[in-house]
Amino acid sequence: MDKMEDHPLWRPDNARVRESAVEGFREWCAYSYRTPLDDYAALHRWSVDEPGDFWRSLWDYYEIKGWPGPRSLVNGGDMLAARFFPDGTLNFAQNLLSREGPEDALVFRGEDRIEYRWSWDRLRSDVIRLQRAFKAMGIVKGDRVAAMMPNLPETIACMLAATSIGAVWASCSPDFGEAGVFDRFGQIEPKLFIACDAYWYAGKLQDVSEKVRKLEQRLTCPVLVVHCAGDAEALASSLSNAEIYDNIVREEVEAELEFVLLPFSHPLYILFSSGTTGAPKCIIHSAGGTLLQHIKEHRFHCDIKPGDRVFYFTTCGWMMWNWLVSGLASGATLCLFDGSPFHPDPGVLWRFAGEERISFFGTSAKYIDSLRKSDFRLDETVNLDGLMTIASTGSPLGGDGFDYVYRHIKPDVQLASVSGGTDIVSCFVLGNPVSPVWRGEIQGPGLGLAVDVWDEQGHPIRQDKGELVCTKPFPSMPIGFWNDADNAKYKAAYFERFDNVWCHGDFAEWTCHSGLIIHGRSDATLNPGGVRIGTAEIYNQVEQLPEVIEAICVGQDVDDDVRVLLFVKLANGRTLDADLENAIKVKIRTGASPRHVPAQILQVNDIPRTKSGKLVELAVKSIISGRAVSNLDSLQNPGSLEEYVHLRDRLLAK
């Protein structure tokens, strides 16, 4: 496939545009407000110019269960003081339990070949019993319920039961170490700790019973044990205060599901930052803001309709799990997978997609790049006719990733690169089903989000790279951080750079198609010779070379300047000799610019990353600068940093 920068890789046909949810909403808003909204661009302008009307329209259009109240937005000119639906009430769980009946609500597949499915009636039945049990434990609104769980239907049922009574949910995946779990949950003092007995990953059974016993002692709260792959009975009996999930849901209960109506801004989730350079931040998200934002993204940007089958490869420690489960509010069937996406082979997720006729398939850019690097090809028996959208997030998806998907996965699919994060439990920039897909580009900003790119002086720029900002309030802004009563940490995280403007920490640029390209985190942006360079620009070039599996790039402060250091993980049997080093430099020089060429290139055996697969550039930079990394337990492969420690003295001497 040619680079095709001058031609879109995909364009929706007239029928898809006409039948899309966002097109119907655009016409409804134009009629309701007697305002010309001739196309998607006009709808977006209106959504940021009239945020109160836009979010009220979303509530009304999808008949959100609850009461919006008379006011849609107050203090709209002040990002920190703004409040959406300050008089409104709703219950998050009530809106997710949107259907009843025997149809599939949840379809699960595990790496160990376990398969099962829950109907909407089964899901509701488990939530009723769990709600009753949680109340008996004394859990009330505002209490925290923390879960160390795989991506199971049982996890979703526990979340819905907790939020139905106003409890605040926090979760992580069971691959976190004891310290990593306690660093998160210890801060929020949960009233209940939910844990599995074991899980499978990459063909190996991982028993977590000893970790659960230690955490029970440290968290000092009751434990709910969920059977997954181990011995739940034995684990529960070894704990001082434990219940077993299966025993709770087997009980005969004649009761109706109750939903506590709560303020729009009532706390729903606590999400955690990666914590690679310190204790994880506890970010509190509201029920109303999360619900409206997710419904908007699912319905309008992903075109998810009732009955669609939606999949996202995620763990319960990544915000994409929270994003995925909200698909129930759109009446979608959620397809859940737990385990390695490469076991027993790289085709496992695509077979799942074909057999279940998944219409929306979400994954990470690193997963797509790994498939490309391994030259993976779909089996001819895999039928993806039902697949309409592939979404990618976690890191920027480069042009080669776009080419690979359209050439080797499916040529007639919307490839939606998206970017946002834990900070907003959603996306700032993402897909648009009524617009073309251009190579290497995110299609555009989300509706209702006043996204822009600013230079260092706070001026909007259209033809250069700068800071990704949002200039007006939006409902999924965090309520705040846990134990941050004066909002000092919250303000420092997002509002220290520009007054009354959210600065997200991404290095971005507009494209000529009104799309965006993310060039990596701005806190990891390199500044050699005073020129700002995004690390993703370097990765997009060097990882095109077949010899390079992946790379990580940091800046080293030397003589009042910054020199760029590139660490590369090479294919098996390859060594970084002079010829390959020169080839890497030529590729970067010609594909990016001479400014992007690193001062040094070093071969390493592994690249450090977080549990959700993100590169940890700041941790490597800390080591290279002679500083310690304080939270190794947040890493997927903490042992990889030892190699960088050994390299540090050599680098500092040069």
Domain segments of the chain as ranges: 14-89, 90-516, 525-653
d(CA 273, CA 279): 9
User: 170-179, 320-329, 511-520, 542-551 — which one is most confidently predicted on average?
Assistant: 320-329
* SS3 per-residue string spanning 82-135: CEECCCCEECHHHHHCCCCCCCEEEEEEECCCCEEEEEHHHHHHHHHHHHHHHH
pLDDT confidence bin for 1, thresholds 50/70/90: very low
Residue 491's pLDDT band, with cuts at 50, 70 and 90, is: very high
Position 420 pLDDT exceeds 80: yes
598-634 as b/e, with b when 16 or more CB fall inside 10 Å? bbebbbbebbbbbbbbbbbbbbbbbbbeeeebebbbb
Tell me: cis bond preceding 8? Omega within 30 of 0 counts.
no
Q: What does the pLDDT look like over 642-652, one tens digit per residue?
A: 888 888 777 75
Please give the distance of CA 64 from its chain centroid, rounded to a whole number. 24
What is the mean pLDDT of the segment spanning 104-116? 93
Judged by average pLDDT, the poorest of 56-70, 150-164, 614-628 is 614-628
Average of per-residue pLDDT across 86-104: 97
Longest dimension (CA), the chain: 74
At 275, the amino acid letter reads G
Do 328 and 50 form a contact (C-beta atoms < 8 A)?
Answer: no
Q: Using 50, 70 and 90 to split pLDDT, how confident is the model at 250?
A: very high
pLDDT on residue 478: 97
Average pLDDT, the chain: 93
pLDDT of residue 632: 75
Q: What is the mean pLDDT of residues 601-615?
A: 86
Rounded to 5 degrees, what angle do the CA atoms 373, 379, 383 make? 120
Pair 165, 257: CB distance under 8 Å: no
| Residue 32 binned pLDDT confidence (cut-offs 50, 70, 90) | very high
CATH tag for 525-653 (out of 3.30.300.30, 1.20.1260.120, 3.30.365.10, 3.50.50.60): 3.30.300.30
Question: What pLDDT is recorded for position 4?
Answer: 42
Phi, psi for 181 (deg, rounded to 5): -65, -45
> Within 105-241, where are the H helices?
120-136, 153-164, 178-188, 209-219, 232-237
Please say whether the beta carbons of 613 and 315 come within 8 A. Answer: no
What average pLDDT does the segment 476-481 reach? 97
Inform me whether the pLDDT recorded for 2 exceeds 50: no
Q: The tokens of 73 are what?
A: 């937005």
pLDDT-derived band at 95 (thresholds 50, 70, 90) equals: very high
| Measured distance CA(289)–CA(285) in Å, rounded | 7
Regarding the domain with residue range 90-516, which homologous superfamily does it belong to in the CATH classification? ANL, N-terminal domain (3.40.50.12780)
DSSP string, 14-32: HHHHHH-HHHHHHHHHHHH
3-state secondary structure of 35: coil
Q: Is the pLDDT of residue 136 over 50?
A: yes
